[in-house]
Amino acid sequence: MRIAVTGSAGLIGTALVRSLRADGHEVCRLVRRPPRGPDEAAWDPKRGYVEESGLTGCAAVVNLAGAGLGDHRWTEAYKKEIRDSRVLGTRTLAAALAALPEPPRVLVNASGVGVYGDTGDRTVDEDSPVAGGFLPSLCVEWEAATAPAREAGVRTVFTRTGPVVAGRGGAWGRRLIPLFRAGLGGRLGTGRQYMSWMSLRDHVAALRFLIDEDGLSGPVNLTGPAPVTNREMTAVLGRLLHRPTVFAVPAPAIRLVLGEFAEDVLTGQRAVPRRLLDAGFRFQDPTVEDALRWALTADRRGD
């Protein structure tokens, strides 16, 4: 199968491309720099351009592109970058797919559990209402930008993603795990906010499941089946690393350092993957302890 992937240099994209190629699939990486080989094609989301050769003959397209939410302080300029990188990119890609003589059969398009807002202790699934605010509105626009592809008959899935647990890369591998290894880990704010985590290997497996599962379209939560609070995650990670977790970062300090993005850290979603489970997807890491054990083992192996 030929599959095009955007955002292939990121944590999830790198792992997905590796997994697909290991199983013999042909992957074309859409890149914003000059292509370096026959397995790459150019695209420019801001100019609305996609090199047609990168999409021709593809049975599936996976769109993971988007500026990192935690990479910079949320100034108005960076919020615009966050939005444009997702909405304009998706709109560009969806229009290009719709214009193909033979569009792919499926578009798997990233989104986020932030669409539900701060859910507190309330469990939400794909049928739950969306909230207001910057992140929920962004996710709504992001998903709506796939309209040209959907109207052209392309089965379209919105992967509402939670924090991805990995030993290397991403917020866990770059920040949390090293901090806890140093004995400086602890809860954030009250620690009562829920985290809808998912291990990287389950995330990649779920993306591949969605490519193949013809009966699924629309929103699908890509989260583990058992969300935990920040306090619970802190305790598990400290125990696995044999490190104390006595430090706590107070909410005012987080807001001072992160600005508006702090609200995303101090709030959370108790989102469950109802549609994945109903479709028969089986998790390799059904608990946060399973996910963290796998991530720490993968880190030691150098994966």
In this structure, are residues 229 and 191 in contact, taking their beta carbons and an 8 Å threshold?
yes
CA dihedral over 240, 229, 138, 282, signed as positive or negative: positive
- Alpha-carbon distances, residue 181 vs 172, 205, 265 (angstroms): 12, 28, 21
pLDDT in 10s for each residue of the chain, 303 residues: 999 999 999 999 999 999 999 999 999 999 999 999 999 999 999 899 999 999 999 999 999 999 888 777 778 898 899 999 999 999 999 999 999 999 999 999 999 999 999 999 999 999 999 999 999 999 999 999 999 999 999 999 999 999 899 988 777 777 778 877 877 777 878 889 899 999 999 999 999 999 999 999 999 999 999 999 989 998 998 999 888 887 777 666 556 555 655 566 667 899 999 999 999 999 999 999 999 999 998 755 555
**pTM for the predicted model, two decimal places:** 0.93
The two structure tokens encoding residue 153: 């008959």
- Alpha-carbon distances, residue 122 vs 125, 138, 164, 267, 268 (angstroms): 10, 22, 21, 12, 10
Return the beta strands (E) in the chain as ranges. 2-6, 26-31, 40-44, 49-50, 60-63, 106-112, 123-124, 155-161, 164-165, 186-188, 194-195, 198-199, 218-222, 228-229, 247-249, 270-271
Domains of the chain: 2-301 (3.40.50.720)
**Length of the chain, please?**
303
Q: Strands 247-249 and 106-112: what pairing?
A: unpaired
The two structure tokens encoding residue 95: 């229009």
